[in-house]
Structure 1
Amino acid sequence: MMKPTLMRPYGMPQSASTAVVTPLMPSVVYASDTPDQLDDQYEGRAQGYTYAREGHPNADIVAKGVAALEGCETGLTLGSGMAAVAAVLMGLCKAGDHVLGGDQLYGRSLRLMKEDLPRLGITTSLVDPTDAAAFEAAIKPETRLALVEVVSNPTLRIADIHAIAEICQRRGVLLVVDNTFTTPAAFKPFEHGADIVLHSVTKLLAGHADVTLGWVAAKDPEIQKIIYTFAVTTGMTPSPFDCWLAERGLATFDLRFERTQETARKLADFLADQDVVTRVLYPTRDDHPDRARAQAVLQGMGGNMVSFELKGGRSSANAFTTAANGVAFAPTLGDIGTTLSHPASSSHRALTPEGRAALGISEGFFRVSVGLEKPDDLIGTFQAGLNAVRAGL
């Protein structure tokens, strides 16, 4: 047993029984008995912790929990989803490399690619991931990796991920999949050719809008080590408290996913029947532009996200959010309560109107993250919002 430290002379209380709930372990530093023991830990001959920036128990518990969902052995928990993106792109790429990305990545991922990587001498290109031929044409001799989302945010388009995986393997490009939007309940990227998988655990995996965390895993242990070293060096440390909360969310993820997916399907069908709604996007609907691919990739899953477009533009958007009481108008997803996002004023506000239009995002376009409300109650709330839109047209 490790000896107690001077200011904490009593050590942990002993108990013949064990805690049912994982303890929260906020210690920043861990004491070793001898320099030899510390060497053993750093050189891999013994398991243990030294300094929380390099790893701590609550982070490892979350890492293993997400890995179990993704069907891999382990992963790395980080301070946010964007920390995971940055650890991959900046940890693995150097000046002169090229990064290829889907053109509807998460907004901050797009900013990292458009503004930050070029400052470091890393060139980038964005391409429609639903067009495999265009994707391959955009690969250069210096392309190091490709970053894609299987289901795009916020228009719910389905990447031609099987073709992209084959292309990346054939061309020697690392395929990185941000699986946040899709979740491992609908798609497991490692089973379909991905080299690296990452998540914003903040969203549906943690699921309660009170955690900020990321996760990343690489198939190749050497690549995983490079990502880990960069993350530790740049201080992408996850909070033990956030990890402790996230473990709770992981325990109920499967149940929450099924419930929210069922409600999302019903909401999408309801919205499609409304005269003030011009377009509904949901992967399992027959009118989805990538319906056949969605069936092949997601195998009947639709997920908890629905997007739709209102007649009347910004005035209708304002009327809807005002009247849809009970649905939080907030730029997030994956909470236990339904949230409503307006990309033109949040995630995609940095784009020009023309740029948003090219992606299919108008002033009347909304993205819905469906929560755990009863379907009839949620539809009733949306009905109130739609009635306000009608009254204003």
Structure 2
Amino acid sequence: MAERPLTPRSLPWPESAARPIGAPIQPSVVYAAESPDALDAQYEGRAHGYTYAREGHPNADRLAALISAMERVEGGLVTGSGMAAVAAVLMGLTRAGDHVLGGDQLYGRSLRMMSEELPRLGISTSLADPTDAEAFAAAITPQTRLILIEAVSNPTLRVADLEAIARMARERGILLAVDNTFTTPRALRPFDLGADIVIHSVTKLMAGHSDATLGWVGARDAALLERMRAFAVTLGLTPSPFDCWLAERGLMTFELRHERAEANAARLAEALAGHPGVRRVLYPGRADHPDHARARALLGGRWGNMVSFEIAGGRAAANALVRAAPEIAFAPTLGDVATTLSHPASSSHRALGPEARAALGISEGFFRVSVGVEDPQALISAFGRAIDAAAEAGERA
């Protein structure tokens, strides 16, 4: 008779001559080593293995490898959120006395990190327009250590002069970090254009089902990646194994979802531009976009699934629009198979005052749409009805 195991954990994992097709989830927090010498070998890099999930786990490594392959870079680090990836860059690679230059239309929380968190640590910051290479160059100081821009800004969809900024960063020995969340590797690979660091909020289109909160950061220089990894481990920016598993599953359909959502976005942008209740539409694929020529050169016709538009009427009209479209989820973020609608003034950019939002072109009537894979005509009809309702509310206000 076989001896009863001391605990279920003392049983070895069942072996199989065939491998599973579906990726396994490994939720273990702790990994048991066979001896102190074996543990030394792992910590000293002479053997690969896992020790404590905060320091890494198999599901994170699998997902990191998949995204790194998409970005064509060796290595990569998955974090617990997109902002955790931004923090690993801004705080893991700078120190007191450094200066960080950012694009002036970054995501709201990135702006807040630049304006509030870094300065209190002794890291000075400033913002400049990344669509104007000369203005951006003028904002560089002798202490500038790092530049952070978004290839396509959130939520105004302006297109950075990435090639010019990469060139000036290289000439001056400044690290360039590019947030590639909106563009994704399907439209743009910033490393090919000279970026040192690339960031993704995997939560968004990559995972794509509103059920996983994750970030990714990669670097061309292995030493930079290791510094960010050490920072992330120390601060506990570790991702959940389950979220990593969900995101890996999401990547299986990424290209299909991207293709359909991008096609839907182009059709929706065209319909919105023709609606009398819409003041302006921002979509890089439209000829009236202020950066259309640059977008064509940079993105090669991959315009993405994000559309922004503005209506008249202020908050009353904005409320009416949202209420008239219950089939479109009103959410402060994005990253679902279905279309979601966001109002930056009350969500991502609410920390900015009205004047600061106005300077960015974000009014109470400004909306950002993450277009999904629904039937495009049903989507266009829903937005048409909602904008009509907003116009009526604006007239009554």
Looking at structure 1, the residues matched to 32 and 10 of structure 2 have their Cα atoms a distance apart, in angstroms, of 13
Which residue type is aligned with residue 318 of structure 2?
A
Looking at structure 2, the residues matched to 72 and 94 of structure 1 have their Cα atoms a distance apart, in angstroms, of 26
**Secondary structure of the structure 1 residue equivalent to 2:200:** strand
**Secondary structure of the structure 2 residue equivalent to 1:168:** helix
How far did 1:6 drift?
A: 5.1
How far did 1:135 drift?
A: 0.7
Looking at structure 1, the residues matched to 6 and 96 of structure 2 have their Cα atoms a distance apart, in angstroms, of 46
Looking at structure 2, the residues matched to 123 and 304 of structure 1 have their Cα atoms a distance apart, in angstroms, of 34
Tell whether the 8 Å contact from 1:178 to 1:199 is kept in structure 2 after alignment: yes
Q: Quote the residue 1:360 is aligned against.
A: 361
Query: Which stretch of the first structure deviates more once superposed, 165-174 or 35-44?
Result: 35-44
How far did 1:110 drift?
A: 0.7
Query: Which stretch of the first structure deviates more once superposed, 15-24 or 334-343?
Result: 15-24
Looking at structure 1, the residues matched to 90 and 142 of structure 2 have their Cα atoms a distance apart, in angstroms, of 17
1:16-35 alignment to 2 at 5 Å?
Answer: 16-35=17-36
How far did 1:39 drift?
A: 1.9
1:159-308 alignment to 2 at 5 Å?
Answer: 159-308=160-309
Tell whether the 8 Å contact from 1:331 to 1:347 is kept in structure 2 after alignment: yes
**2:74 aligned with 1:96, yes or no?**
no
Which residue type is aligned with residue 139 of structure 2?
A
Looking at structure 2, the residues matched to 229 and 9 of structure 1 have their Cα atoms a distance apart, in angstroms, of 31
Q: Quote the residue 1:52 is aligned against.
A: 53
Q: Quote the residue 2:350 is aligned against.
A: 349
Q: Quote the residue 2:150 is aligned against.
A: 149
Q: Quote the residue 1:117 is aligned against.
A: 118
**Secondary structure of the structure 1 residue equivalent to 2:10:** coil
Deviations 1:193-251 (A, max 9, x none): 00001111111111011111111111101111111111111111110111111101111
**Secondary structure of the structure 2 residue equivalent to 1:104:** coil
Which residue type is aligned with residue 266 of structure 1?
R
Deviations 1:332-373 (A, max 9, x none): 112111000011111111222111111111111100000111
Instruction: Indicate the RMSD between aligned Cα atoms, in angstroms.
Output: 1.2
Looking at structure 2, the residues matched to 300 and 96 of structure 1 have their Cα atoms a distance apart, in angstroms, of 41
1:3-14 alignment to 2 at 5 Å?
Answer: 7-14=8-15
Gaps of 5+ in 2: none
Which residue type is aligned with residue 26 of structure 1?
P
Q: Quote the residue 1:81 is aligned against.
A: 82
1:59-78 alignment to 2 at 5 Å?
Answer: 59-78=60-79
Looking at structure 2, the residues matched to 328 and 13 of structure 1 have their Cα atoms a distance apart, in angstroms, of 44
Looking at structure 2, the residues matched to 388 and 296 of structure 1 have their Cα atoms a distance apart, in angstroms, of 38
**Secondary structure of the structure 2 residue equivalent to 1:88:** helix
Gaps of 5+ in 1: none
**Secondary structure of the structure 2 residue equivalent to 1:278:** strand
Looking at structure 2, the residues matched to 390 and 122 of structure 1 have their Cα atoms a distance apart, in angstroms, of 46
Looking at structure 2, the residues matched to 53 and 319 of structure 1 have their Cα atoms a distance apart, in angstroms, of 45
Identity of aligned residues (%): 66
**Secondary structure of the structure 2 residue equivalent to 1:152:** coil
Looking at structure 1, the residues matched to 8 and 17 of structure 2 have their Cα atoms a distance apart, in angstroms, of 26
Tell whether the 8 Å contact from 1:267 to 1:375 is kept in structure 2 after alignment: yes
Which residue type is aligned with residue 387 of structure 1?
D
Looking at structure 2, the residues matched to 277 and 62 of structure 1 have their Cα atoms a distance apart, in angstroms, of 41
What is the aligned length? 390
How far did 1:7 drift?
A: 4.8
Which residue type is aligned with residue 195 of structure 2?
A
Looking at structure 2, the residues matched to 363 and 25 of structure 1 have their Cα atoms a distance apart, in angstroms, of 45
**Secondary structure of the structure 2 residue equivalent to 1:385:** helix
Q: Quote the residue 1:313 is aligned against.
A: 314
How far did 1:389 drift?
A: 2.3
Which residue type is aligned with residue 254 of structure 1?
E
Query: Which stretch of the first structure deviates more once superposed, 38-47 or 170-179?
Result: 38-47
Q: Quote the residue 2:42 is aligned against.
A: 41
Residues 5 and 291 (structure 1), Cα distance of their counterparts in 2 relative to 1, 3 Å cut: farther
Query: Which stretch of the first structure deviates more once superposed, 360-369 or 313-322?
Result: 313-322
Tell whether the 8 Å contact from 2:313 to 2:391 is kept in structure 1 after alignment: no
How far did 1:10 drift?
A: 2.2
Q: Quote the residue 2:128 is aligned against.
A: 127
Looking at structure 2, the residues matched to 39 and 101 of structure 1 have their Cα atoms a distance apart, in angstroms, of 41
How far did 1:5 drift?
A: 7.8
> Under a length normalisation based on structure 1, what TM-score does the superposition of the two structures give?
0.97
Tell whether the 8 Å contact from 2:312 to 2:391 is kept in structure 1 after alignment: no
Looking at structure 1, the residues matched to 25 and 254 of structure 2 have their Cα atoms a distance apart, in angstroms, of 20
> Under a length normalisation based on structure 2, what TM-score does the superposition of the two structures give?
0.96
Which residue type is aligned with residue 355 of structure 1?
A
Q: Quote the residue 1:383 is aligned against.
A: 384
Looking at structure 2, the residues matched to 389 and 229 of structure 1 have their Cα atoms a distance apart, in angstroms, of 50
Tell whether the 8 Å contact from 1:334 to 1:370 is kept in structure 2 after alignment: no
